[in-house]
């Protein structure tokens, strides 16, 4: 374990932890002093991300803000959070914000990060909802929104296709995806019971397989 | 009446919050089925409009819950629906994040990641179908969907710019025709 050299002793930032991250100078790992942000800084950072992120761009913005620019947490820590946010239920960007806030400032930081992500964006979408109520008598409104929805479906499908190409090419995972799609998408079964059955089944299968692979490589 | 609707919003969104593996995309199908089919709070075209607004708005796409809450029960409905969709999942993420930091168990982690992927994929495609079937399909919307899917899959164009471009094109069509 590398120990920090005497870094920035004269700066007045609060030094709490020391992390490592790849520096801009080529192939040299440079220690970076992690900075503990104030709650206000957390709120403002996520407010900015909340109102300027559209369709998936928020991850890159969060990385930039929390690792590159401010060094609130290490890159490795960020990637762990990324995986956690992806795997757990909930909106991915909100989960990731919560994780970053938690790492930087504990429970309060997590709360502030989520509020920063949600409240301003909530106000904007409500204004849009209000405008929609005023304009919903005009056929043109529905026509234009129909186009936007069609584009949104395109975005959803593109994400679906991208994730599908990364799926393991085995019968059971593919069958699971098809069955879930069939019963929820085509037969309109409620999602809650379907997910409650499908997730333990699918994770259980993946666990058995991961253990088998681990045993084989262990030999 | 209003109280029932507020409770209804919680009952629809809170379970989805806990089971939205794969993010906001994955719960769109069930939000559509529940609000249009089961509860009949919205018509199909209204639901499709809500989906469109949530795609055009900044921030997390799960804020479609706020829009639906507002449509169903006004400002209070928007707040209740937003809390219902974010609070349960945030509590889970908070505790599991803390646990995950202390127990980086790679085997379970791999199993969870690999096991959730197929379920999320099924739900994502179901969401696309739910939006498509909620309003009459025209050749124009089908072409739009196909073109956007291809552009977003093969290029790195920002989805938001594409949505804006489509909105502008459709507005143009309104004024020309």
Domain ranges for chain B = 2-136, 137-177
Mean pLDDT of A124-139: 92
Domain count, chain A: 2
Cα separation, B82 vs B68, whole angstroms: 10
Residue from the list A89, A121, A211 with its beta carbon closest to the beta carbon of B59: A121
**Do A58 and A109 fall within a single domain?**
yes
Query: What is the chain A residue with the closest CA to B51?
Result: A149
**Do A167 and A121 fall within a single domain?**
no
pLDDT higher at A67 or A18: A67
Structure confidence at residue A28 (pLDDT): 41
**Do A89 and A168 fall within a single domain?**
no
**Do A58 and A5 fall within a single domain?**
yes
Structure confidence at residue B146 (pLDDT): 95
**Do A24 and A79 fall within a single domain?**
yes
Structure confidence at residue A60 (pLDDT): 76
Judged by CB atoms closer than 8 Å, whether chains meet at B56 and A128 is answered as yes
Three-state helix/strand/coil letters over A58-87: HHHHHHHHHHHHCCCCCHHHHHHHHHHHHH
Judged by CB atoms closer than 8 Å, whether chains meet at A176 and B119 is answered as yes
Cα separation, A78 vs B99, whole angstroms: 16
Helical axes B64-102 vs B2-19, angle rounded to 10°: 40
Inside any domain, residue A27: yes
Judged by CB atoms closer than 8 Å, whether chains meet at A162 and B146 is answered as no
**Contact (CB, 8 A) for B145 and A151:** yes
B107 at interface of A, judged by CB pairs closer than 8 A: yes
How many C-beta neighbours within 10 Å does residue A141 have? 17
Cα separation, B30 vs A91, whole angstroms: 15
**Do A121 and A193 fall within a single domain?**
no
User: Distance from A168 to chain B by nearest Cα, in Å?
Assistant: 8
**Do A19 and A77 fall within a single domain?**
yes
**Contact (CB, 8 A) for B121 and A163:** yes
Give B32-82 pLDDT, tens digit per residue. 999 999 999 999 999 999 999 998 888 888 999 999 999 999 999 999 999
**Do A8 and A102 fall within a single domain?**
yes
Interfacial B residues in 61-100 facing A (CB < 8 Å): 61-63, 66-67, 70-71, 75, 78, 82, 85-86, 89-90, 92-94, 96-98, 100
Structure confidence at residue A215 (pLDDT): 87
Mean pLDDT of A97-107: 93
Judged by CB atoms closer than 8 Å, whether chains meet at A209 and B45 is answered as no
**Do A114 and A215 fall within a single domain?**
no
Structure confidence at residue A219 (pLDDT): 57
Residue from the list B89, B138, B159 with its beta carbon closest to the beta carbon of A89: B89
**Contact (CB, 8 A) for A55 and A155:** yes
Cα separation, A101 vs A93, whole angstroms: 12
Residue from the list B92, B128, B132 with its beta carbon closest to the beta carbon of A89: B92
Inside any domain, residue A139: no
Inside any domain, residue A37: yes
CA angle A154, A175, A150 (to 5 degrees): 10
Inside any domain, residue A45: yes
**By percentage, how much of chain A surpasses pLDDT 90?**
37
Inside any domain, residue A119: yes
Residue from the list A85, A148, A185 with its beta carbon closest to the beta carbon of B52: A148
Judged by CB atoms closer than 8 Å, whether chains meet at B123 and A181 is answered as yes
Q: Report chain A residues whose CB lies below 8 A from the CB of B63.
A: 118, 121-122, 125
Structural tokens at position B141: 């919307």
> pLDDT at residue A55 above 90?
no
**Do A108 and A190 fall within a single domain?**
no
> pLDDT at residue A35 above 50?
yes
**Do A20 and A116 fall within a single domain?**
yes
Helix (H, G, I), strand (E, B) or coil at A17: strand
Please, what is the average pLDDT of chain B? 88
B35 at interface of A, judged by CB pairs closer than 8 A: no
Structural domain including A81 reads 1-125
**Do A47 and A116 fall within a single domain?**
yes
The predicted model scores a pTM of: 0.79
- Which residues have C-beta within 8 Å of that of residue B99, sequence separation ≥ 6? none
Can you list the pairs that B70-74 forms with residues at least 24 positions away whose Cβ atoms lie under 8 Å?
B70/A126, B70/A129, B70/A130, B71/A129, B71/A133, B71/B41, B71/B42, B71/B46, B72/B5, B72/B8, B72/B9, B72/B35, B72/B41, B72/B42, B73/B2, B73/B5, B73/B6, B73/B9
> pLDDT at residue A59 above 70?
yes
Query: What is the chain A residue with the closest CA to B106?
Result: A210
Cα separation, A166 vs A158, whole angstroms: 13
Cα separation, B46 vs A6, whole angstroms: 61
Query: What is the chain A residue with the closest CA to B131?
Result: A153
Residue from the list A145, A154, A180 with its beta carbon closest to the beta carbon of B145: A154
> pLDDT at residue B176 above 60?
yes
Provide the pairing of β-strand A15-22 with A29-35.
antiparallel
């Amino acid at each position: 374990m590398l120990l920090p050299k005497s870094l920035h002793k004269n700066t007045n930032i609060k030094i709490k932890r020391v992390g490592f991250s790849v520096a801009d100078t080529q192939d040299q790992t440079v220690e970076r002093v992690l900075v503990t942000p104030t709650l206000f800084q957390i709120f403002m950072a996520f407010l900015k991300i909340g109102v300027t992120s559209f369709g998936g761009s928020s991850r890159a913005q969060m990385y930039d803000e929390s690792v590159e620019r401010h060094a609130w947490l290490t890159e490795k820590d960020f990637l762990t959070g990324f995986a956690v946010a992806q795997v757990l239920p909930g909106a991915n960007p909100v989960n990731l914000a919560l994780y970053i806030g938690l790492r930087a400032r504990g429970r309060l930081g997590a709360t502030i990060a989520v509020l920063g992500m949600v409240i301003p964006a909530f106000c904007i979408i409500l204004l849009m909802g209000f405008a929609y109520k005023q304009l919903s008598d005009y056929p043109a409104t529905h026509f234009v929104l129909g186009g936007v929805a069609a584009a949104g479906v395109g975005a959803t499908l593109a994400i679906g296709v991208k994730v599908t190409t990364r799926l393991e090419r085995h019968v059971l995972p593919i069958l699971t995806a098809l069955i879930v799609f069939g019963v929820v998408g085509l037969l309109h079964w409620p999602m809650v019971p379907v997910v409650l059955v499908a997730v333990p089944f699918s994770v259980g299968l993946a666990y058995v397989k991961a253990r088998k692979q681990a045993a084989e490589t262990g030999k | 009446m209003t109280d029932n609707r507020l409770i209804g919003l919680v009952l629809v969104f809170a379970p989805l919050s806990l089971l939205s593996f794969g993010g906001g995309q994955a719960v769109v199908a069930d939000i559509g089925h529940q609000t249009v089919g089961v509860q009949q709070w919205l018509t199909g075209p209204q639901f499709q409009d809500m989906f469109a607004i949530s795609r055009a708005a900044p921030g997390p796409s799960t804020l479609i819950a706020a829009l639906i809450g507002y449509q169903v029960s006004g400002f209070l409905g928007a707040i209740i629906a937003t809390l219902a969709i974010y609070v349960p999942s945030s509590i889970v993420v908070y505790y599991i994040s803390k646990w995950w930091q202390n127990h980086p168990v790679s085997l379970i982690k791999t199993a969870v990641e690999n096991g959730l992927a197929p379920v999320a994929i099924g739900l994502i495609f179901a969401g696309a179908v739910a939006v498509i079937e909620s309003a009459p399909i025209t050749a124009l919307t089908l072409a739009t969907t196909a073109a956007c899917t291809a552009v977003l899959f093969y290029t790195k164009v920002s989805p938001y710019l594409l949505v804006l471009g489509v909105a502008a094109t459709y507005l143009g069509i309104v004024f020309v025709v």
